[in-house]
Amino acid sequence: MNKSYQFRIYPNKNQEVKLNRTLSTCRHLYNDSLAERKRESELNKLERDFGIIPWGKPEWINYYDQADELTAAKTAYQKEVFSQVLQNVLKRVDRSFKNFYRGFGYPRFQGRNRYNSFTYPQSGFGIEDDKLILSKIGSIRIILHREIEGKIKTCTIKKDIDQWYVTFSCEIDKPILLVEIRTETGIDVGLKSLLTMSNGEQIEPPEFLRESEDKLKQEQKRLSRKKKRSHNKNHQRIIVAKVHRKIRNQRKDFAHKTSRILVETYDHIVFEDLQIRNMVQNHCLAKSISDAGWSQLIGFTKAKAECAGKVVELVKPRNTSQNCSSCGNSVPKDLSVRVHICPFCGLEMDRDHNAAINILKISIYTAGTAGINACQGTQRSIDAAGSSPPFRGE
């Protein structure tokens, strides 16, 4: 089982210069290697189309070629960076090509603001007391606010505007005892950052998150009014980036808290598979944006459930908001209709609540009886949870 831990680190001025220089060296290597592979693939295409083998090199260049090249001829800048960190950059290029072959976008050149991390994949780092020791950089002050479990595999340093973080990816080998499934819930994740469970309980995101989102809109508007390429515009851009960061952190916090509550309360948790949902209804932009935050929540819930021996299931979305959770008939309604009223069986309930029940019904673990139980006054879920809403409006 893998688990990752993130901590903030506090480099001094001198160390920050080195960190920035390492990032820049890595970024240049990334872009150069990407350019080389791009060139090679174009030559390769030439050969395929016209039957010529230019410069007698018919093969594709791969990670190993580039790694050999790197060891053979390092620039002065590259010599200042721990060698495995550089190799990891080549690995990243390689991975981006592999992703491309799997159907993702073509690898992109990385600008200064985009390329923001580097990784020690095996060694070259360590922790001593309250210091993170990085080879070729120094020992940086770190605040370890939680204990690290398991064996640290990789160490990634990340820059976030004016702050620095380290992420340790750890391997924990402790046996996981599977829990017998006694409690379960289906969860509908809504457009307005609202979470509805199949027992009708809802979890709302904290108020301050909404306040930050309003502030972001404000600052973005201000940014769009600034003159192009002006000093003011640059300054405003940093302000916007910082608000973004604040929201990101608040969302993450919310996702951690919520997922903890879910996993503590339920043994079996069912969500809709958002990737499929996006493919089906990608015309709704707002929905796919809000889904980005939900993916994080689902990811955290999965990770925590795995540790606890519980089950998170992702089901294919199947008209969960349209169908009646009691009689199964289709009751079409657009997004503005908030209440599900069934003309066939008379069921009347909140739209999201109806969807959440349907999501639980699709679950393969409970197919059949669970659905019927869930509709009949949601008795089953209430018995299972037996609690008041976890932290509505906190």
Kindly list the residues in this chain that would bind Zn ion in the complex (CB under 5 A). Answer: 324, 326-327, 342, 344-345, 347
Residue with tokens 């009691």: 326
For the chain, the helix, strand and coil percentages under 3-state DSSP, each to the nearest 5? 45, 20, 35
Give the nearer residue to Zn ion in terms of CB position, either 303 or 341: 341
Q: What are the counts of helices (DSSP H) followed by strands (DSSP E) for the chain?
A: 11, 14
Which of 185, 179, 195, 177 shows the shortest CA–CA distance to 387?
A: 185
127 with 142: CB under 8 angstroms?
A: yes
User: What is the C-alpha separation between 324 and 319, in angstroms, rounded?
Assistant: 10
Give the nearer residue to Zn ion in terms of CB position, either 66 or 358: 358
Element spanning 222, H or E: helix 207-225
Question: Which residues, 6 or more positions from 222, have their beta carbon under 8 angstroms from its beta carbon?
Answer: 236
Q: How far is the CB of 377 from Zn ion (least distance, A)?
A: 14
Give the nearer residue to Zn ion in terms of CB position, either 189 or 347: 347
Q: How far is the CB of 342 from Zn ion (least distance, A)?
A: 3
Q: How far is the CB of 198 from Zn ion (least distance, A)?
A: 16
User: What is the C-alpha separation between 216 and 243, in angstroms, rounded?
Assistant: 6
Residue with tokens 């924990």: 172
Q: In what order do the strands lie in the sheet with 184-189?
A: 202-203, 195-197, 184-189, 268-272, 311-315
Residue with tokens 């790694």: 67
149 with 168: CB under 8 angstroms?
A: no
257-274 burial by CB neighbour count: b if 16+ within 10 A, else e?
A: bbbebbbebbbbbbbbeb
Give the nearer residue to Zn ion in terms of CB position, either 324 or 370: 324
Give the nearer residue to Zn ion in terms of CB position, either 154 or 322: 322
- Residue 272 bridge partners (DSSP): 315
Give the nearer residue to Zn ion in terms of CB position, either 111 or 343: 343
Q: How far is CA 48 from the centre of its chain?
A: 39
Q: 3-class DSSP state for residue 205? A: coil
**Type of residue numbered 64:** Y
Give the nearer residue to Zn ion in terms of CB position, either 297 or 357: 357
121 with 94: CB under 8 angstroms?
A: no
Q: 3-class DSSP state for residue 143? A: coil
Q: How far is the CB of 330 from Zn ion (least distance, A)?
A: 10
Q: How far is the CB of 319 from Zn ion (least distance, A)?
A: 13
Q: How far is the CB of 369 from Zn ion (least distance, A)?
A: 18
Give the nearer residue to Zn ion in terms of CB position, either 209 or 345: 345
Give the nearer residue to Zn ion in terms of CB position, either 326 or 358: 326
User: What is the C-alpha separation between 83 and 276, in angstroms, rounded?
Assistant: 41
Which of 394, 358, 363 shows the shortest CA–CA distance to 378?
A: 358
User: What is the C-alpha separation between 168 and 2, in angstroms, rounded?
Assistant: 10
Q: How far is the CB of 340 from Zn ion (least distance, A)?
A: 9
Q: How far is the CB of 328 from Zn ion (least distance, A)?
A: 7
Give the nearer residue to Zn ion in terms of CB position, either 181 or 327: 327
Q: How far is the CB of 324 from Zn ion (least distance, A)?
A: 3
Q: How far is the CB of 192 from Zn ion (least distance, A)?
A: 25
